[in-house]
Chains A and B, each alone.
Chain A
Amino acid sequence: MNENPIKNTGMISDLEQQLVQDGQVVTQQAQLRLAKSDVKQSLIAALTSEQVIAKNTLFRPWWYGFAAVIGITAMIWIAGPIDSIQPDQLSVSEPLDFGLKSLPLSLEQKFNQPLLEEQQAIIDDLKALKTQLLSI
């Protein structure tokens, strides 16, 4: 089924009618122009030159993959085995000192104490649970 109403019905507005009419004028101009210029010949000439270029060119798509594989292989061969650091080669360095000052003790206690208490309570609960489980 064609969805184009222009094909299906003759009911078109002035605007649409004008579009079609003036479009036909453009088509006539196109025909005139094509009659004067030999598109076919110039196209054949262009296609021939394109084909010549394509035949002569060294860089076909599969060449890129091939070149990449050769390149990577060569790089690995030149670079040799990749160096890795063994654990015994590691040296112990001095601890880093960023010069950070600790918070005043009272503040630290204020923030941390409730957390510590909660943490301790959880540990106690877990211990109690463990004891209960073991006693079953």
Chain B
Amino acid sequence: MNEQQLITRAKQGAADCFTQLVVSYQTRLYSYLLARCQNSFDADDVLQETFINAYKYLKSYDAQWQFSTWLFTIARRVLSKLKTTYHYTLDVLSGREPALEEDPFSVDKNNIWKLIKKDLKPNSYDVLWFFYMEQLSIKEISHIMNQSQSWVKTNLHRSKMKLNNNSALEHMLEAK
């Protein structure tokens, strides 16, 4: 059964088809959430909430967009509601790492995705992730971000400029 058939069956209430969709997309979605959230516990919660919402509102899914695009849109909404995730302002102001010590799945502090969190706003961070890791088109990203395509292009350009001008990041890249 291909993806569209799975979606159609899931829309009709076939839970096993929806489960197959979950299995297909859970790694991609969880990678994004693991990078985006402060710890894996938050990522777990958001992942579950995202799939629950996807199941609830599956009938509203528009097949003109990729299924992953729709899932990422939901995930971002869930993230924005979750207070314990990505305290960008708090991180910047306090300059501390709020990741839990006992979290074995927390992203390594030398990972570039961890480092750039301090430099970028959540929206810019998401655009970078969707562009480089998900390799989504500008059109798809603009749909997820609920912004124009020009906004996405500008945001992407500015983020790259900002990161290129970051000396700490430059040293890290040289060292690697």
Contact = CB atoms under 8 A, between A and B. Distances in A.
Contact of B26 (A19, A23, A34): A34
Nearest to B56: A50
Contacts of B136: 4
Contact of A3 (B43, B52, B111, B137): B137
Q: How large is the interface on B (under 10, 10 to 19, 20 to 34, 35 or more residues)?
A: 35 or more
Select the residue from A13, A25, A43 with max chain B CB neighbours within 10 A: A43
Given A3-B137, A22-B113, A43-B48, A29 B105 contact: yes
Interface string A5-47: 0110000011110111011011101111110010110111011
A2 interface: yes
A6 B131 contact: yes
B15 A44 contact: yes
Contacts of A2: 137
B164 A15 contact: yes
Interface string A34-69: 100101101110110010000000000000000000
Interface of A: 2-4, 6-7, 13-16, 18-20, 22-23, 25-27, 29-34, 37, 39-40, 42-44, 46-47, 50
